[in-house]
Amino acid sequence: MNISFFGKIVFIVTVANIVVCNMGFSQAEKLQSQTLTKAFSYIQNLYIDSINSEEIVENAILAMLKNLDPHSQYISKDNVKMVDDLLKGNLEGIGIQFNILEDTVFIINPIKDGPAAREGIMPGDKIITAEKQNISGTGINNESVKKIFTGLKGTKIDIGIKRSGEAEMLHFSVEREKIPINSIVASYLVDDKTGYIKLNSFSSTTISEFDKAMSNFMAFSIENLILDLRGNGGGYLQTAAELCDHFIDNKKLIVFTEGMHSNKKEIVAKIDGSFEKGKLAILINEGSASASEIVAGAVQDWDRGIIIGRRSFGKGLVQRPLDLPDGSRLRLTVAHYYTPTGRSIQKSFNKGNIEYKHEIITRYNHGEFSNRDSIHFPDSLKYETLINKRTIYGGGGIMPDIFMPLDTGSFTNYFQELFGKGIIHLFAFKYANDYRHLFKQEYSTFEKYKTEFNVSEEMFEELLSIAKENNIVFKKSEYLRSKEEIRINILALIASNLFNNDNYYEIINSTDKVLLKATEILSNKKSYKKILSGK
């Protein structure tokens, strides 16, 4: 008998039985639990052929979760460590950012102070071999490359590199270490009074990263802060609450959670935050979920700042991790969370998980991304903010104070094909790599690059040639509509390769209408106050 299989079944059923007994469930419900135990036993001991026990168990768990909510989740033992590492903000590896171009692994950047950087690996290097095995050629992808270079801390990997200007292949022995994964992907000054922070997730390192960014800003005595949570799918609830604490006065409620088997738990502000008085704007969209909505909801409820963008995802459920004996894990929904006004922002999943997953597409098809008037909330979901008594709504996400439609004017099918197939990335990376020595001579700083370098017509022609080689049909009218967007992306990607990720976002954001609107409002004290007053 497969012990791990049986052990997992016993664990699940035993827990079920304990819950049934302790919660005073009916005799019928106890009978159902016993029936589940017996069915597993019959399959394991009497089935005609040999079975894949692990697969049967996983399918059984998935089937149980399928009939619950969309966010209760089973994580296989193979994926538990990866999930933990991402939330803890570190992985074990050699510390490189890479891209696969023309079936070759290129180093975009070695992570600063990481093992690869210390060994002398440089941007633009091509990785040809790993452990003397050729890794270039067809069939390689991001996941296979990650598996090669990540591994246990302390283990070494021998890498063969081809470097521009070097006749012979260079060889490095790099020891894997814990590599930090930053949740803040960009922080810079938009102007002399306004800081910008792009936060991609809420991990265990988020607060220390935020403190560092704010420390840098405070040296310039900033008065305004833009927190970009667009596309941020969430993370740790506690981290979201701690971030809110930097914006909200002491003793004010940030969030509370409650479930049928989970007592009400309130989290209140308790520290003197680093930005409790300045003007604050939070950017959200349909990809902002969970922990992002906790932050946006608390800031909105307390009239602490303005929310700009499009309606957020609408995830107001709390998951609790429950480890299983074989190393796999359940992330079981145990409670709702509520904003300080008592709003639940969880959208409905009554029509099933498939409809739930496609709800964002439904919003788009109904015109919500382009027109605020297409969004309707029933009066039963109406609430008031706690200070200025503005009308806000629960259910289905956080509705921003300032609605900004999706800007689709330059996002033609031709642009999406160029971008989606990596042609713009390929061209920008190749150009930066081919002319790296000239860039260093002519544009020694990012400021010089930003003000003096531009995309020439010759560069556009080279890009179009690469697109043609990759079977992308030229569409002149769409190309002309998207030309400015293509230009900005090329400039940003080259900047990222030559300088850093902050500089990538600084260029990309230079034409971002949502960010520009936020900057405009924050720079005008009268406009800012008017929005928060609701008048």
Active site residues: 290, 301, 315
Per the CB < 8 A criterion, the answer to whether 316 and 346 are in contact is: yes
Cα–chain center distance at 93: 21
Q: How far apart are the first and last CA of the chain?
A: 71
Helices (H), 435-475: 436-442, 446-452, 457-469
Helix (H), strand (E), coil (C) string for 261-297:
CEEEEEEECCCCCCCCCCEEEEEECCCCCCHHHHHHH
Taking each helix axis from N to C terminus, what angle separates 27-46 and 3-22, rounded to the nearest 10 degrees?
170
> Which amino acid belongs to residue 307?
I
Q: Helix, strand, or coil here: 250?
A: coil
CB-hemisphere CA count at 13 Å for 404?
19
Token reading at 152: 């246990």
Would the CA dihedral through 60, 16, 1, 331 be positive or negative?
positive
Q: How far apart are CA 13 and CA 17, in angstroms?
A: 6
Q: What is the largest CA-CA distance in the chain?
A: 80
Structure-token pair, residue 532? 């928060």
Q: What are phi and psi of 403, to 5 degrees?
A: -85, 130
Is residue 262 within 8 A of residue 334, CB to CB? The reply is yes
**Cα 514 to Cα 498: distance, rounded to the nearest angstrom:** 27
The alpha carbon of residue 474 and the mean position of all alpha carbons in its chain are separated, in whole angstroms, by: 33
Residue 235's φ and ψ, nearest 5 degrees, are 145, -140
